[in-house]
Amino acid sequence: MAGSNPNAKPMNLTLKVWRQPNRQAQGQIVEYHVKDISPDMSFLEMLDVLNEDLLHAGQDPVAFDHDCREGICGSCDLFINGRSHGPEKGTTTCQLHMRKFSDGDTITIEPWRANAFPVNKDLSVDRSAFDRIIQAGGYVSVNTGGAPDGNEIPIPKEIADRAFEAATCIGCGACVAACKNASAMLFVSAKVSQLALLPQGNVERKTRVENMVAQMDKEGFGACTNIGSCAAECPVGISLENIAILNREFLAAKATSNNLA
Amino acid sequence: MLLDSKIPEGPLAEKWDKHKFNVKLVNPANKRKYDVIVVGTGLAGGAAAASLAELGYNVKAFTYHDSPRRAHSIAAQGGINAAKNYQNDGDSVFRLFYDTIKGGDYRAREANVYRLAQVSVNIIDQCVAQGVPFAREYGGLLANRSFGGAQVSRTFYARGQTGQQLLLGAYSALSRQIAYGKVKMYTRSEMLDVVIVDGQARGIVTRNLVNGEIETHAAHAVVLATGGYGNVFYLSTNAKYCNVTAAWRAHKKGAFFANPCFTQIHPTCIPVSGDYQSKLTLMSESLRNDGRVWVPKTVEMAERVRKGQIKPQDIAEDDRDYFLERKYPAFGNLVPRDVASRNAKMMCDENRGVGSTGLAVYLDFSDIIKRTGAEAVSQKYGNLFDMYAKITDENPYEMPMRIYPAVHYTMGGLWVDYNLQTTVPGLYATGECNFSDHGANRLGASALMQGLADGYFVIPYTIGDYLANTPPKPVDTNHPAFAESKAYVQARTEQLLGIKGNRTPDEFHKALGHIMWEYCGMARTAEGLKHAKAEIQRLRKEFWSDVKVVGTGEEMNQALEKAGRVADFLELGELMVDDAYNRNESCGGHFREEYQTPEGEALRDDENYAYVAAWEYQGDNQPEKLNKEELVFENVKLTQRSYK
Amino acid sequence: MSWITKTLTSSIGRKIIMAVTGLFLCTFLVVHLIGNLQLFKHDQGAAFNTYSHFMGTNPIIRTIEWGLVLGFGFHIFEALVLTRRNKTARGAQGYVSNHSEQNSEWTSRNMGILGSIILIFLLVHLYNFFWRARFAGDLPKMGGADPLTSDYDNLYMAVVSSFHIWWYVLLYVAAQISLGYHLWHGFRSGFQTLGLNHRKYTPLIKYVGYVFAVVVSAGFASMPLYFFLFTNAQGEMAANAPAILQTVASAF
């Protein structure tokens, strides 16, 4: 079957892939060659080809995280040619297509690098630090049942839209991976902003930002130095404005909350 | 075995309220003495785990993902239905119930569907309270859009990412309970068996996907929320990890599997582009609100399009066939999914399909772009258009999208009674994992509704009824049944690793998917199904002698994971074929070519097939036993569905 | 730890200290630059020396001076702490291939290097002028007829002679280029860290920052260049100086 671009020629590529058997082991870059890669393939489909080749050759396939392959679950997490999710802006690895590469290219593929994201195996990393940050306060404390009617509190469309834009974070970790400081501020700020903007989040506004920032620091992420790599590499376009909101929320909470600890 | 659906007595509208009053309660102080296992943390599982923990139960939640936020619920684009009637357009609980029953082609249980419609309104309130940023009107109130199979606007949405926002809502509720210590979360843990002690579900066996450790976990009840099995077709809109393993192992331990052949083929997916294709991407059904579906009127014109001699935007209005609008003037492009899919297939069968493969129809936005401007269209569908452009390298603002049906959802699943309990006491199934609410076809924006209804508002009540009858004694994994299950799982892992054959799990999976799509897909025939059954049996045999997995079980081994899942699909596939063969009628997503009206619509046989086919496992390589739950319709009249 | 120390030692707290001290130091740069413009006055340094005498003796200025010391001290200390922390956050194994130039500005990523160059300059600069004026006391006196100013340090001549040493001028200019780049990022970064981000004003802050960076660094760099290129050992403008400079100087 032909693809959407019948004139596209198949490509041969050299891959330099980080291989590491498990968390404790030393890793290294290993070179592989893949042939007849269609430009219409997604990047992960190209890796599928590599893995099928490896398996046929009796070698261990490359472990990598992926799931929905439509850019929303946030599972895929490859550092491709020195960039989070590769060269295309606003794109997850699974939505990156091989037409962005050329025949004969050498592609370096590494896992996210951060102390807080240890490598499980090869290209798969442990991002549970993100979950723990959310557990520290990234929610509205409402139990199931007893919620007032959804239309009880009108929310200006503009506010709802801004909250939505912050809420679209997929938790992939590209921001941490791209940041020189391995800072998780963009991730944290997206959740803090979303809930700070909405009236529902207002009740726990102060404790939320205090606890989430404390957890972020505890996990060992770096501090933001406003470089902007995170927002530039974010596949869903979370804006740096959120980090300013986080800073502001943090400062205001620390200055005015009753929390002496 | 007699299937007791435990539908409460009384008028439809009062059943759930009465039932909630009649179920036994667990005293608040006793709740902490009960442990509940929830497998899967998507909408249904995440919501259930959070809500049960809020009530005071000790919950252990499991997911094979690295985080509960990644479940495939996240990919649902269009929206969630609720009978709020905010639009003043005549919606009501009964209308949502009626639309769902009718949309499901009268193969769903009335009482369940009515309850679903009732609690739908609470779901929206709950999600808003959690901080889910639904779309709003300028006045600050919630916005709605319309969806297939309904003539009212009742779908709540968050741009094209409704599933994501709802899942993150459930995830946040779950995270809160994890922080409180009421939920113990096990990530990257795949359930590989249910443990039955004295006829009751008492735990599970899991494999830690990072270090390969086989673990046993005990509880007073087990809730499966492990999603659907659409990946049996290999290519589907499901995420790559979606699988039937948890449900299938439960099935082998005594849970009946209901209506496995009821698969939904979604009409608007991006067509297959090559053999390497690993999955299909859905374009939300909401696009059919504004997009118009068409193919060239003549085969000759279609031929020229396929060869690239003429661009679709250059085809004159008169030379286009807007076949859905033509055939179904009342619903037009918004006919239910099964109808839209089948018609697209018919067009392609008539050789009027487009794209280089001829397996696509157009979804055209030029009218709405002309009417409201590209900016307004981008506001509504921006992310979907971007996604389409990324995948196909074509700009949908300039030329129509090419779409084709793809496997999307499975209405079938573990049989459950009104309490969502399977045929194994103490074992529950929620969300897409069960069969209960969608009959033979699910309406758009109803999956999110059902998952959350089950998780937030049904299981917290119904599981209490079971637990109240279970002594609050601590449970542990010392019973020999746990060791037995663990040994079974270990042996199977060893077996897969020991074959050392020549074909990869993916190759088997693709082969199975091909059989399923050809013979048990959009159109089925008795002959084709017979052929498919033999093919699957042959393939399964080959699998167990020729599959190739390297490495060990004591490490992260994704090929091993895949092999285990494919092995289960190979068994499920045969059951689906059996079920499709057994059902000598067409209904919803199940279209048997032998049974159609003169106009080519699905022809039901209510006399003989108004039942749920619940299959009972009889042992390896034994034919499964069919049990029937008769469907009784007291509140709707069974008619030939008409969307004309 | 009390809530205050906890706040100030958190990642955001430390960044806020960076921002506050950084923006404070920006105000110092403005004052310093305006004062130093008196070097260009054609009066053998009379105005400049009077100004520096005032700055060195006025009690209010001397008090603010301590603020400046603390400002620099905290800015540098927090920079060191944060750099260490941020290096650790990446982990032992860095990237084999990292193309951050494709997603961010060089200056933003190299504030530490830029700051270090500025720090080296600052030490030399302080030793040369501040230390000698305040503590060593080995600067020549102004002399002259006016009894009020005759025993003021002739800092002007110290400046002129320093600015005739080629490597000194080079260090100065290099440091000012670093300062320019440091401010290019630092100015707007300070506002961002303090949470002062608004879609109306942030673009404005950004461009004000760019102008600020260029004006301040060019202003400071112009002094050594002027003396080195266009004046004699007494600081008098050479005859070969471009006409424009003559015009500007006479306007002072």
pLDDT tens by residue, B522-576: 999 999 999 999 999 999 999 999 999 999 999 999 999 999 999 999 999 999 9
Q: CB–CB of A145 and B131 under 8 A?
A: no
Of A81, A113, A232, the CB nearest to C90: A113
Q: Which residue has the tokens 């059943």?
A: B15
pLDDT score of C1: 66
Average pLDDT, chain C: 92
- Assigned CATH class of B12-23+36-262+411-468: alpha beta
Reduced to 3 states (helix: H, G, I; strand: E, B; else coil), residue B596 is strand
Q: Which residues of chain B does A68 touch, with a Cβ-Cβ cutoff of 8 Å?
A: 70, 72, 74-75, 239-240
**Total domains in the fold of chain A:** 2
Q: Are strands B221-224 and B427-429 parallel, antiparallel or unpaired?
A: parallel
Task: Give helix then strand counts, H and E, for chain B.
Answer: 19, 19
Using CA atoms, how far residue B468 sits from A139, B417, B440, B464, B515, in Å, is 31, 18, 34, 6, 46
A162-178: pLDDT as tens digits: 999 999 999 999 999 99
One-character DSSP codes across B150-190: -SS--EE-STT-HHHHHHHHHHHHHHHHHHHTSEEEE-SEE
Q: Do B68 and A131 touch (CB under 8 A)?
A: yes
Per-residue model confidence (pLDDT) at position B77? 87
Using an 8 Å CB-CB cutoff, list chain C residues near A29.
96
**Which of A127, A147, A200 lies closest to B66 in CB terms?**
A127
Q: Answer yes or no: do C13 and A181 touch at CB < 8 A.
A: no
Name the residue in chain A with its Cα closest to that of B389: A95
Residues B473-478 have a mean pLDDT of: 94
> What chain A residue is nearest to C202 in terms of C-alpha separation?
A241
**Closest CA in chain A for residue C93:** A113
- The distance from CA B538 to its chain's CA centroid, rounded to whole angstroms, is 28
pLDDT tens digits, A173-213: 999 999 999 999 999 999 999 999 999 999 999 999 999 99
Q: Which chain B residues are Cβ-neighbours of A136 within 8 angstroms?
A: 179
- Identify whether A4 is part of a domain: no
User: Which chain B residue is nearest to residue A146, measuring alpha carbons?
Assistant: B126
Q: Do A28 and A144 have their domain in common?
A: no
> Which CATH number is A85's domain given?
3.10.20.30
- Asked whether residue A65 is assigned to any structural domain, the reply reads yes
For residue A145, the distance in angstroms to the closest alpha carbon of chain B comes to 7
pLDDT(A3) > 60: no
The chains found to touch C (3+ Cβ pairs under 8 angstroms) are: A
Residue whose token pair is 């401010």: C183
**A74 and A16 in a common domain:** yes
Residue A5 has pLDDT above 60, yes or no: no
Domain B480-611 sits in CATH 1.20.58.100 = yes
CA distance B140 to chain A (A): 4
Q: Which domain-ending residue is among A88, A106, A121?
A: A121
Residue A47: domain span? 11-121
Q: Do A143 and B138 touch (CB under 8 A)?
A: no
Fold of the B266-407 domain: Flavocytochrome C3; Chain A, domain 1 (3.90.700)
* Interchain contact, B457 vs A61, CB within 8 Å: no
Q: From the list B141, B274, B460, which residue is nearest A1 (CB)? A: B274
The domain boundary, picked from A86, A121, A156, lies at A121
φ/ψ (deg, to 5) at B183: -115, 130
Residue A162 lies in a domain: yes
**Measured between CB atoms, does C89 come within 8 Å of chain A?**
yes
DSSP state at residue C136? I
Task: State yes or no: pLDDT of C212 exceeds 90.
Answer: yes
A partners (3+ CB pairs within 8 A) are B, C
Q: State whether residue C250 sits within 8 Å of chain A by CB.
A: no
Question: Over 90: is that where the pLDDT of B466 sits?
Answer: yes
Would you state the structure tokens that stand for residue C211, as one six-digit string?
């102008």
Per-residue pLDDT tens over the stretch B164-210: 999 999 999 999 999 999 999 999 999 999 999 999 999 999 999 99
Q: Given this model, what pLDDT does residue C128 score? A: 87
Pairwise CA distance, residues B579 & B607, whole Å: 18
CB-nearest to A217 from C11, C108, C192 is C11
- A-C CB pairs within 8 A amount to 152
pLDDT over 90 (residue B384): no
DSSP C141: B
DSSP string for B560-582: HHHHHHHHHHHHHHHHHHHHHHH
Residues A173 and A220 in one domain: yes
User: Span B283-307, mean pLDDT?
Assistant: 92
- Hey, is the C-beta of A194 within 8 angstroms of any chain C C-beta? no
Contact in structure between A204 and A184 (CB atoms under 8 Å): no
Residues of B known to be catalytic? 337
- What is the per-residue pLDDT across C117-157, written as a single tens digit (0 to 9) for each? 999 999 999 998 888 888 888 888 888 878 888 888 899 99
C110 touches chain A (CB under 8 A): no
A90 touches chain C (CB under 8 A): no
- Do A139 and A244 lie in a common domain? yes
The yes-or-no reply on B/A contact (3 CB pairs or more, < 8 Å) is: yes
Sorting pLDDT into bands at 50, 70 and 90, what band is B150?
confident
A141: pLDDT confidence band, cut at 50, 70 and 90? Answer: very high
Measured CA distances, B341 to A4, B301, C146 (Å): 21, 22, 100
Q: Is the ipTM of this complex over 0.90?
A: yes
Selecting from A83, A228, A243 the residue whose C-beta is nearest the C-beta of C99 gives A83
Contact A67 B124 (CB under 8 A): no
φ, ψ of residue B193 in degrees (nearest 5): -165, 155
Q: How far is C118 from chain A (nearest CA, A)?
A: 18
Residue-by-residue DSSP string for C60-99: HHHHHHHHHHHHHHHHHHHHHHHHHHHHHHH-SS--SS--
- Mean pLDDT of all residues in B120-137: 97
What is d(CA B554, CA A21) in angstroms, rounded to the nearest whole number? 12
The per-residue pLDDT for C252 is 63
- Which pLDDT does position B274 carry in this prediction? 87
Judging contacts by C-beta atoms under 8 Å, the chain A residues touching residue C100 are 82, 178, 180, 229
DSSP for B57-119 reads -EEEEE-SSSSGGGSGGGG--S-EE----TT-SS--HHHHHHHHHHHTTT-S-HHHHHHHHHH
Q: Any chain A CB within 8 A of the CB of C10?
A: yes
In a domain, A134, yes or no: yes
Other CB atoms closer than 10 Å to residue B3's CB: what's the count? 18
Residue A163's closest chain B neighbor by CA?
Answer: B133
Domain boundaries, chain B: 12-23+36-262+411-468, 266-407, 480-611
Q: Which domains does chain C have, with CATH numbers?
A: 9-84+106-251 (1.20.1300)
Amino acid at A215: Q
Q: Do both A58 and A137 map to the same domain?
A: no
Contact A70 B51 (CB under 8 A): no
Instruction: Give the end of a domain, one of A70, A91, A121.
Output: A121
Inter-chain touch A241–C197, beta carbons under 8 Å? yes
Q: Determine the distance in angstroms separating the CA of A50 from the nearest CA of chain C, rounded to an integer.
A: 21
pLDDT value at position A7? 55
pLDDT at residue B423 greater than cutoff 70: yes
**What is the C-alpha R_g of chain B?**
24
In this prediction, residue A1 has a pLDDT band, given cuts at 50, 70 and 90, of: very low
**Per-residue pLDDT, A2:** 36
Of A7 and C160, the one with more pLDDT: C160
User: The domain that contains A170 carries what CATH number?
Assistant: 1.10.1060.10
